[in-house]
Amino acid sequence: MHRPKDHLLVLTRHGQSEGNLRNVFTGWRDLPLTEQGREQAIAVGKHLRERGVALDAAFSSALGRARDSCAHTLREMGLAAIPVRRDSALNERDYGDLTGLDKNEARRRFGAEQVQTWRRSYAVAPPGGESLRDTVARVLPFYIREILPAVLRHRGVLVVAHGNSLRALILALEGLSPDEIARIELDTGETRFYLLNDCAEIRSHGVWH
């Protein structure tokens, strides 16, 4: 009997950006990686290479911190020539009026409880911005239309994006509830993997440290 082969999907958050370093709501603001961020992206590539991970294609958001992280990771793996699709569907959640604000200043201005609600609730959006539900609504169709077919065509596919756009994917892939996804936070450079069979069913998944 034919045993379906596995296809690897690797999700990684970009390395530390200037926005992360300054503790501001970055959102769609296009701030570059720090030196530590570049080192984190290179470390992801080294880790994947040492694990013997084979990648045939990659995706990143349209924002520079994800694009550059993807490039550093692939270069470290010796895979700089593989095709990379960059798309704004994978961009970070839009923080609207919070964009550019120091997170402590935002708490003083709006109250810590309100800011925490904007940051971690599923359906409540900051003024002028997106909720996580809104982010799922743009990330999931792109995954179904572009990423999943690529995963099923190849041995391995890398996706480099952002904390919230990846949380949107994780929610959908793992079938998590809004309460469960609220408890998940990805560090810069954090990497997760999913093994899918030929029927697009997830056989196993986890976090690579």
> Distance between CA atoms of 170 and 155, rounded to whole angstroms?
20
Mean pLDDT, rounded, for 24-52 = 98
pLDDT tens readout for residues 163-187? 999 999 999 999 999 999 999 999 9
What do you get for the CA distance between the two ends of the chain, in Å? 35
Of the residues 14, 47, 72, 162, only one is catalytic, namely 14
pLDDT tens readout for residues 93-139? 999 999 999 999 999 999 999 999 999 999 999 999 999 999 999 99
* Residues 6+ positions from 156 with CB-CB distance below 8 Å: 7, 8, 9, 10, 53, 54, 55, 56
What secondary structure does DSSP assign to 65-128, as a single string?
Answer: HHHHHHHHHHHHTT-TTS-EEE-GGGSPPP-GGGTT-BHHHHHHHH-HHHHHHHHH-SSPPPTT
Domain range list for the chain: 7-159+172-208
Of the residues 7, 72, 76, 92, only one is catalytic, namely 92
Q: Which CATH superfamily is domain 7-159+172-208 in?
A: Phosphoglycerate mutase-like (3.40.50.1240)
Tokens 């501001």 belong to 24
Mean pLDDT rounded to a whole number for the chain = 96
pLDDT tens readout for residues 64-79? 999 999 999 999 999 9
For the question of residue 39 being annotated catalytic, the response is: no
For the question of residue 92 being annotated catalytic, the response is: yes
